[in-house]
């Protein structure tokens, strides 16, 4: 007998019928002898609908009131799921984030969890009840309702699993696990039996939408075993865990990709010691997230810096740079949109030199021009024209043999 935390996303609870299906999955774990805590998201597109309502009233609604509004979505789901469990003969109790003791920073819209007061959940578990908790939300020290930002329900589930010292945290989604790449784009993509925290964190940060990076980071820091599973099909998923005893015969384990990338070039900057720190501190102070950075020096006095941003941030990026032109002393700004980032990920790269060269070679052989490059110990990213994004993923998936079954070592 152990403790299992289960998390079901919006698609999984998108209708009464699907909530009843979730209830059956929860009861299967309960009847196998486990204590169960269930974390749920808002039903289907509820959050999007609530955001739309707010936007009809205000072009820039209060962040505090948005948190008050959006947290109602999960409150609907927890009540309905608890009712469904009761109708199926099992005692259940629903808790909002604050009732569950989810303490956060005093930040609206993207708060981080600071502490979880688990006493109330543990009391209910000891009474044999299934505890249903609203994901994505908490409460600050000064009593304000907060939300955890994108992927917040994943983070809630993993944080609860860590705080309750659960044996496992199952993340139920509309896919059967973590794949070598997105199977909607590459038909030969294969489900992985297991993947390391570090590899999953890289894939999540690079655009793979199966798990949110903050949830993976939490799991790694507190050594919480995760399993990504299908809420619709009764089959094993993908285990996310530490690297020991992982399947290791493939150097590259997965490929992530994202579009809506723009390259910004700031030309004619003074070639000084503080040029880099000044420009990126200015952008950071104005909430601009920068990804890949390249510096090129044409002479002793002048330098140019190129970096990538999300296309949606281009307008703000140029505005901030122009507002600080007298400080930065650049000559001109150039930008190129309609780009995509394609990344290969695998912990085997550490001990296998030449992986980046192989990636660059196969892309060039297929007529795909690389615009920017970024590397770490376990990933290589290349920025290409968006029209070549899917082709890049397909040829890399083939050359690194990701369709082949792995053999455990």
Summarize pLDDT for 298-318 with one digit per residue, the tens. 677 888 999 999 999 999 999
3-state SS class at 285: helix
Cα–Cα dist 5/225, whole Å: 11
Q: Which long-range contacts (CB under 8 A, 24 or more apart) does 367-371 make?
A: 368/392, 368/395, 371/263, 371/336, 371/339
Cα–Cα dist 195/274, whole Å: 40
Q: What is the domain partition of the chain in residue ranges? A: 3-174, 245-409
Percent of the chain with pLDDT over 90: 81
Give Cβ neighbours of residue 256 (< 8 Å, ≥ 6 apart).
181, 202, 203, 206, 207, 208, 342, 343, 345
- Has domain 245-409 been given CATH number 3.30.2130.10? yes
Average pLDDT over residues 388-403: 95
Question: What pLDDT, in 10s, does the model give residues 11-24?
Answer: 999 999 999 999 99
Predicted local distance difference test score (pLDDT) of residue 116: 96
Question: What pLDDT, in 10s, does the model give residues 140-190?
Answer: 999 999 999 888 999 999 999 999 999 999 999 888 999 999 999 999 999
Cα–Cα dist 182/96, whole Å: 33
Question: What pLDDT, in 10s, does the model give residues 327-376?
Answer: 989 999 999 999 999 999 998 888 888 999 999 999 999 999 999 999 98
Q: Which long-range contacts (CB under 8 A, 24 or more apart) does 30-34 make?
A: 30/90, 30/130, 33/1, 34/1, 34/2, 34/3, 34/4, 34/167
3-state SS class at 132: strand
Helix axes 314-323, 275-285, angle to 10 degrees: 120
**pLDDT at 44 exceeding the cut of 70:** yes
> How many helices and strands (H and E) does the chain possess?
12, 18
Predicted local distance difference test score (pLDDT) of residue 223: 92
Predicted local distance difference test score (pLDDT) of residue 5: 98
10 Å Cβ neighbour count for 26? 25
Domain covering 3-174: architecture: 3-Layer(aba) Sandwich (3.40)
Overall residue count recorded for the chain in this entry: 409
Question: What pLDDT, in 10s, does the model give residues 99-133?
Answer: 999 999 999 999 999 999 999 999 999 999 999 99
92 forms bridges with which residues in the sheet?
A: 130
Question: What pLDDT, in 10s, does the model give residues 262-300?
Answer: 999 999 998 877 888 999 999 999 989 999 999 887 677
Question: What pLDDT, in 10s, does the model give residues 237-265?
Answer: 999 998 745 555 678 999 999 999 999 99
What are the backbone angles phi and psi of residue 132, rounded to the nearest 5°? -110, 120
Predicted local distance difference test score (pLDDT) of residue 300: 73
Predicted local distance difference test score (pLDDT) of residue 409: 35
Average pLDDT, the chain: 92
């Amino acid at each position: 007998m152990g403790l299992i935390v289960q998390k079901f996303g919006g698609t999984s609870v998108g209708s009464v019928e699907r909530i009843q299906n979730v209830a059956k999955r929860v009861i299967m774990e309960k009847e196998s002898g486990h204590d169960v805590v269930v974390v749920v998201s808002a039903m289907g597109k509820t959050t999007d609908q609530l955001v739309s309502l707010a936007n009809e009233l205000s072009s820039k609604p209060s962040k505090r009131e948005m948190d008050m509004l959006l947290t109602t979505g999960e409150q609907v789901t927890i009540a309905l799921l608890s009712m469904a469990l009761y109708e199926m003969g099992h005692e259940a109790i629903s808790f909002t984030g604050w009732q569950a003791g989810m303490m956060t920073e005093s930040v609206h819209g993207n708060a981080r969890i600071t502490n979880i007061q688990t006493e109330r959940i543990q009391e209910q578990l000891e009474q044999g009840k299934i505890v249903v908790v609203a994901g994505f939300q908490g409460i600050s020290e000064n009593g304000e309702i907060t939300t955890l930002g994108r992927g917040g329900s994943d983070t809630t589930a993993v944080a609860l699993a860590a705080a309750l010292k659960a044996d496992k945290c199952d993340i139920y989604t509309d896919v059967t696990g973590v794949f070598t790449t997105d199977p909607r784009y590459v038909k030969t993509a294969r489900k992985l039996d297991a993947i390391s925290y570090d590899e999953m964190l890289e894939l999540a940060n690079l655009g793979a939408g199966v798990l949110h990076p903050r949830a993976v980071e939490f799991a790694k820091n507190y050594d919480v075993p995760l399993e990504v599973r299908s809420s619709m099909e009764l089959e094993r998923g993908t285990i996310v865990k530490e690297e020991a005893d992982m399947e290791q015969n493939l150097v590259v384990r997965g490929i992530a990709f994202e579009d809506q990338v723009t390259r910004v070039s700031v030309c004619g900057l003074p070639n000084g010691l503080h040029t880099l720190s000044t420009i990126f501190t200015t952008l950071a102070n104005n909430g601009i997230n920068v990804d890949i950075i390249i510096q090129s020096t044409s002479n002793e006095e002048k330098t140019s810096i190129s970096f990538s941003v999300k296309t949606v941030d281009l307008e703000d990026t140029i505005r901030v740079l122009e507002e600080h032109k007298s400080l930065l002393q650049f000559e001109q700004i150039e930008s190129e949109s309609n780009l995509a980032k394609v990344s290969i990920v695998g912990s085997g790269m550490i001990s296998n030199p030449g992986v980046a060269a192989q990636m660059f070679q196969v892309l060039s052989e297929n007529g795909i021009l690389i615009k920017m490059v970024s590397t770490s110990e376990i990933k290589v990213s290349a920025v290409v024209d968006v029209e070549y994004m899917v082709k890049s993923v397909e040829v890399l998936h083939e050359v690194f043999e990701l369709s082949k079954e792995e053999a455990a070592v």
